[in-house]
């Protein structure tokens, strides 16, 4: 790592980090990297100035997810953002009612929702975390400086240091959610809010099957059900609520973005369906939780 890259690491960000090897809450920015004051584990700072706080085991576990997003051309990702803009704006509108103070966005991607957060004066500090270094570098190029490469199910953030945690754009759909919910509860202050969305399984299957038919002129095979972007989508909102309660949250709001088969990309103001029944037929369900 070069010193020019390290010089961009924000000391305020370093003061919030913890060692993912031993859990110690004090990391020190050295001339070459970031070092744990307790176990002396050294963490790289990758150009242009992004700390990598992730264990070897976590990188192996997240390898498919990391490679999927690292290898996606930025132009393709931006096209996805444009295609999903009405849906993601509906998600943002719910999440933004609850975000304030020091905010962490998990699965921040190239910074689309970080842009929304930083424009709001209620946010005092906005941090982005993602597994994909390529996405984080794209967010850096947009002006975001408080960025971390890390794993959502072992967050490199000190306990009780965040006022809000958010994830907009269905990033948590790809993660092991039980440990992720527990980690988010750990880093939130009491009564802090966690707002996020999950893709629902069957509407996503219908939508993907339709677009496969349009692009390839045939109906998809059964293997579609096991594709990377579908396999972990939410099948039961009640199960998610149980996991959230087990992690120490109460659900204060749950609504699903309306879905009309084959017309999702044409809906400019999709609106919402409420509750558990809405999660069965909505394209994307937004959860807002408060730490007990």
pLDDT tens digits for 15-68? 999 999 999 999 998 877 999 999 999 999 999 999 999 999 988 888 887 888
Q: What is the per-residue pLDDT for 1?
A: 45
Those residues with Cβ within 8 angstroms of residue 6's Cβ, 6 or more apart along the chain or in another chain: 29, 31, 32, 33, 45, 49
Q: Report residue 287: phi and psi, to 5°.
A: -110, 135
pLDDT tens digits for 173-186? 888 899 999 999 99
DSSP sequence for 86-111? HHHHHHHHHHHTT--EEEEEES-TTS
Percentage above 90 pLDDT, the chain: 60
Distance of alpha carbon 177 from alpha carbon 187, whole angstroms: 15
pTM assigned to the model: 0.89
pLDDT tens digits for 212-230? 655 676 766 666 555 656 5
Q: What is the per-residue pLDDT for 9?
A: 85
Q: What is the per-residue pLDDT for 20?
A: 97
What strands lie across the sheet with 123-130, from one edge to the other?
147-149, 123-130, 101-106, 162-167, 188-199, 284-291, 249-257, 272-274
Q: pLDDT at residue 113 above 90?
A: yes
Distance of alpha carbon 142 from alpha carbon 249, whole angstroms: 33
CB atoms within 10 A of CB 10: 16
Mean pLDDT of the chain: 88
What's the pLDDT band for 83 if we cut at 50, 70, 90? confident
Average pLDDT over residues 175-202: 93
Q: What is the per-residue pLDDT for 135?
A: 95
User: What are the structural domains of the chain?
Assistant: 1-49 (no CATH), 54-291 (3.40.50.150)
Residue 213 tokens read as 């038919």
Which neighbouring-strand residues pair with 125? 102
Asked if residues 290 and 192 have their Cβ atoms less than 8 Å apart, the reply is: yes
Reduced to 3 states (helix: H, G, I; strand: E, B; else coil), residue 115 is helix
User: Residue 39 to residues 22, 129, 159, 217, 262: CA-CA distances in angstroms?
Assistant: 7, 23, 18, 57, 54
Helices (H) and strands (E) in the chain, counts: 13, 13
Element (H, E) at 124: strand 123-130
Q: Tell me the CA end-to-end span of the chain in Å, nearest whole number.
A: 41
């Amino acid at each position: 790592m070069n010193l020019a890259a390290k010089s961009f690491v924000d000391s305020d960000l370093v003061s919030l980090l913890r060692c993912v090897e031993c859990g110690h809450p004090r990391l020190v920015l050295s001339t070459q990297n970031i070092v744990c004051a307790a176990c002396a584990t050294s963490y790289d700072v990758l150009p242009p100035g992004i700390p990598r706080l992730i264990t070897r085991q976590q990188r192996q576990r997240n390898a498919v997810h990391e490679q999927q997003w690292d290898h996606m051309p930025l132009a393709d990702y931006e096209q996805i953002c444009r295609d999903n803009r009405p849906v993601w704006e509906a998600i943002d509108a719910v999440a933004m009612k609850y975000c304030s103070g020091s905010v962490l966005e998990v699965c921040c991607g190239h910074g689309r929702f970080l842009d929304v957060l930083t424009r709001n004066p209620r946010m005092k500090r906005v941090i982005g975390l993602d597994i994909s270094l390529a996405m984080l570098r794209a967010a850096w190029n947009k002006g975001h400086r408080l960025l971390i490469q890390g794993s959502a199910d072992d967050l490199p953030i000190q306990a009780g240091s965040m006022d809000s945690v958010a994830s907009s754009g269905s990033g948590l759909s790809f993660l092991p959610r039980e440990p992720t919910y527990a980690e988010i509860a750990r880093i939130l202050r009491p009564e802090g809010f966690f707002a996020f969305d999950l893709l629902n399984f069957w509407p996503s299957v219908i939508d993907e099957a339709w677009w496969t038919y349009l692009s390839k002129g045939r109906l998809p095979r059964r293997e579609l059900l096991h594709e990377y972007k579908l396999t972990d989508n939410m099948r039961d909102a009640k199960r998610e609520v149980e996991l959230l309660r087990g992690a120490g949250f109460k659900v204060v709001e749950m609504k699903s973005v309306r879905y009309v088969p084959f017309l999702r990309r044409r809906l400019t103001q999709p609106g919402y369906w409420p509750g558990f029944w809405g999660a069965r037929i909505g394209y994307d369900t937004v959860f807002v939780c408060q730490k007990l």
